[in-house]
Amino acid sequence: MQGGERYNSISDFLKKEFGGKTVKLSVDAGFTCPNRDGSKGSGGCSFCSEGGSGELAAHSSSMAESVTEQIDRLSAKWPDANYIAYFQSFTNTYAPVEVLKERYYAALDDPRISGIAIATRPDCLPDDVLDLLEEINKEHFMWVELGLQSVHRTTQDAMNLCYSTEDYDRSVAELKRRGIRFVTHLILGLPGETEDMMFDSLRYVCEDPARRPFGLKLHLMNIVKTSPLYKEMPDYVPFDSIESYVDLVVRCLEIIPPEITIHRLTGDVPRKILVSPEWSYRKRTILNAINKELALRDTYQGARAL
């Protein structure tokens, strides 16, 4: 842990890995999802936005244009930064392997790109895709992101995920076997979940070294206007206040092993589609409050890890 932070942030890890500021470029590679095209389900996961949680990604006609667009936009702020291409929107391993290879390497072939991050579902890593990822991982910096969200079957069914914890376990075992870094996503505040259920999911992911990820994303549950959940539960508010959310995140950090990199501690959606919590667009305020609370309690990531 560096820079006075009390948790192992991915920004510090990447700064050490590449020798300077490293920025993720969110790109939309034009994929869809098995929970949208009818092969597994339709309508998508209940909490997912119309844009497949990629509203902040660059949308261009080619990968080269997407990368250039993002770098041009960010280079004024960070002229000497390193860049990682983040395949964010929808399911980024859900296509024929030849298509995946062409789009991944279109990003990696840009000399300004230091590596890639690939967001996907736990049920979308067949052997031929894993072989491709293993090939890339041998020559390039990479991690894979798995959207687990919750280990509870009742939640998985209610949120129309169309995948299971067993799917997650199979993918984790294969990624571990092949030496591929992976980052797990969990959502805090899903409808019907108690605090104990959220901690169950967190412990499941973190405590067993055989399942322990390289990184972790804790998402604040956001209700967005373009999601099925908004139509089903328009008045749902997952947390009453920033303070209640901060308190939960601090207690989560305390049980996360210190070697796990922290990639996210809140949500991040455009304000124009946000319904609740109405304060969740205040990302910097939330993160500052988390850091302040950690200092006030004199605690840190892993303080209560088993």
| CA distance readout (Å), 96 to 29, 99, 180 | 13, 5, 20
* DSSP letter for each residue of 52-118: TT-TTSB--SSHHHHHHHHHHHHTTT-TT-EEEEEE-SS-TT-S-HHHHHHHHHHHHTSTTEEEEEE
The predicted model scores a pTM of 0.94
Tokens encoding 97? 């392997």
Q: Which residue has the tokens 């020798």?
A: 19
| pLDDT by residue, tens only, the chain of 306 residues | 543 579 999 999 999 999 999 999 999 999 999 999 999 988 999 999 886 554 555 556 688 888 888 898 888 888 889 999 999 989 999 999 999 999 999 999 999 999 999 999 999 999 999 999 999 999 999 999 999 999 999 999 999 999 999 999 999 999 999 999 999 999 999 999 999 999 999 999 999 999 999 999 999 999 999 999 999 999 999 999 999 999 999 999 999 999 999 999 998 888 999 999 999 999 999 999 999 999 999 999 999 986
**Inter-residue contact 189 to 239 (CB < 8 Å):** yes
Which of the 8 DSSP states describes residue 272?
Answer: G
Q: What is the pLDDT, as a whole number, of residue 3?
A: 39
Beta-ladder partners of 120: 146
Strands 274-276 and 223-224: antiparallel
Crossing angle between the packed helical segments 242-255 and 195-206, to the nearest 10 degrees: 30
| CA distance readout (Å), 288 to 179, 246, 284 | 34, 10, 6
Amino acid sitting at position 218: L
Does the bond joining 96 to the residue before it have cis omega, within 30 degrees of 0? Answer: no
